[in-house]
Structure 1
Amino acid sequence: MQDLFGHAGIVEPPRQAIAEGAVLLRGRALAEEANLLAALDAVVVAAPFRHMVTPGGFTMSVAMTNCGTAGWVTDRRGYRYQSGDPLSGKPWPAMPEIFFRLATEAAAEAGFPGFAPDACLINRYEPGAKMSPHQDKDERDFGQPIVSVSLGLPATFQFGGLSRSDKMTKVALEHGDVVAWGGPARLAYHGVLALKDGEHPLLGRKRINLTFRRV
């Protein structure tokens, strides 16, 4: 496995290639952290985190919610996007302007100008929670990139190829890091290893991941 670790005593460039079509922007969200966290709190009040169930009946270790005109959900009926929160029956909260601006600017910096996300899946990882390698393929237009923002505890991100059996690159992500991928990497398998315990000064014992998509 190839490793891309950059915070422990090694100075890394702010823009770092993970694979063809995949870019890591280290610390890109730090300047906006206060506004991002305030906007996040407002979204979660309107649409609380919940542990969704996969079509196979497995309860996910990662808690989720959404904002935007559509939200990603999973239950025994399958994976899909829908305009309303199944818990409240109300529309998902609107995407905060600070979320939209960060996603579009980061995408452009990574080489994907013109990205206009309409959905943000928000994941909450607590110690032990993980995300198995998967493809983001429930969207209609694979010509649009994915933008992922990390907040809170550090995590190990895995990024592979177009086949589940391809070798995975391990990337250390910390608070404020942003990853964007598209083009030849748009359908790459990716995941997150089990979160290690720790205490973040702003978010405590958890990691929040904002994942922006164009549905």
Structure 2
Amino acid sequence: MTVLRLRGFEIHKGLLDRAEQLVLLDGVRAVVKAAPFFRPVTPGGQKMSVRMTSAGKYGWYSDAEGYRYAPTHPNGTPWPAIPDAALAIWDRLTGLERHPECCLINYYDSDARMGMHQDRDEADFRWPVVSVSLGDEGLFRIGGQKRGGKTDSIWLQSGDVVVMGGEARLHHHGIDRIRAGSSKLLPKGGRINLTLRVVE
């Protein structure tokens, strides 16, 4: 495993071997069975290209009223528990006693993107965000705390884990494109990204 540092982001290349990825994927499937993927709408009325769901006390949500954390799935049911395999990654990389209250799960098909954004709907930015990649490679772009300006990009592969903390916690970031067919982990292809967040 190699740890790269890019604009304050810690990128743990190949942190999860295939067996660990499969265990985590089983956990994701259990979450999706209880809380199916949905496609949110931005406050501006545009449907996002990613599909998403969540696990934990809160799920991340977006609609005409804005971006926020919600205690229930759009169908009204509580979110399922965060998979143990995901919490183990948090423990391994952060060493924090406090656990995340949300595990946002995004699914990218070959045409999905995520525009440059900040993770800033949480109450306290001192806590890191931990991001896990499964499946096809995604081109991850990182900027600064202000929108615009120079950016850097790196391909994230299945089993890579990114820690966004400290000075990098509010840096803009996004996924520009997916390299379809670059992984055999997901039978139907695509990329799954899990982000673990302390909300309160």
Question: What TM-score do the two structures reach when normalised by structure 1?
Answer: 0.88
**Shift of residue 33, structure 1, vs aligned partner:** 1.3
Shift of 1:209: 0.2
Provide the rounded CA distance (Å) in 2 between the counterparts of 1:28 and 1:16. Answer: 12
Task: Indicate whether 1:15 and 2:6 are aligned.
Answer: no
Distance 2:22 2:145 in 1: 36
What residue in structure 1 maps to residue 24 of structure 2? 36
Identical-residue share of aligned pairs (%): 44
Counterpart CA distance in 2 for 1:167 and 1:114 is 36
Is the CA contact (8 Å cut-off) linking 1:23 and 1:179 kept in structure 2? yes
| Alpha-carbon contact 1:158-1:168 (below 8 Å) kept | yes
Is this contact kept in 2: 1:106–1:178, CA < 8 A? no
Which consecutive unaligned segments of at least 5 residues does structure 2 have?
none
- Aligned-pair CA distance for 1:114: 4.1
Residue deviations 1:69-89, cap 9 Å, x none? 1000001111000111122x1
RMSD, matched Cα: 1.3
**8 Å Cα contact 1:134-1:191 kept in structure 2:** yes
> What residue is the counterpart of 1:54 in the other structure?
42
Q: Name the structure 2 match of 1:10.
A: none
Partner of 1:98: 85
* Greater than 3 Å deviation, 4+ residue runs: none
How far does residue 29 in structure 1 lie from its aligned partner after superposition? Answer: 2.1
Amino acid corresponding to residue 70 of structure 1 in structure 2: Y
Which residue of structure 2 lines up, in the alignment, with residue 6 of structure 1?
none
Greater fraction strand: 2
1:214 aligns with 2:198: yes
Please tell me the residue identity of whatever aligns with 1:86.
Answer: P
The number of aligned residues is 197
Letter matched to residue 89 of structure 2: L
CA contact 1:115–1:144 (8 Å) conserved in 2:
no
* 2:62 corresponds to: 74
Gaps of 5+ in 1: 1-12
TM-score of the superposition, structure 2-length normalised?
Answer: 0.94
- Check the 8 A contact 2:137/2:182 in 1, yes or no: no
Shift in Å at residue 200 of structure 1?
2.7
CA distance in 1, matches of 2:145, 2:153: 16
Whether the 8 Å CA contact 1:104–1:117 is kept in 2: the answer is no
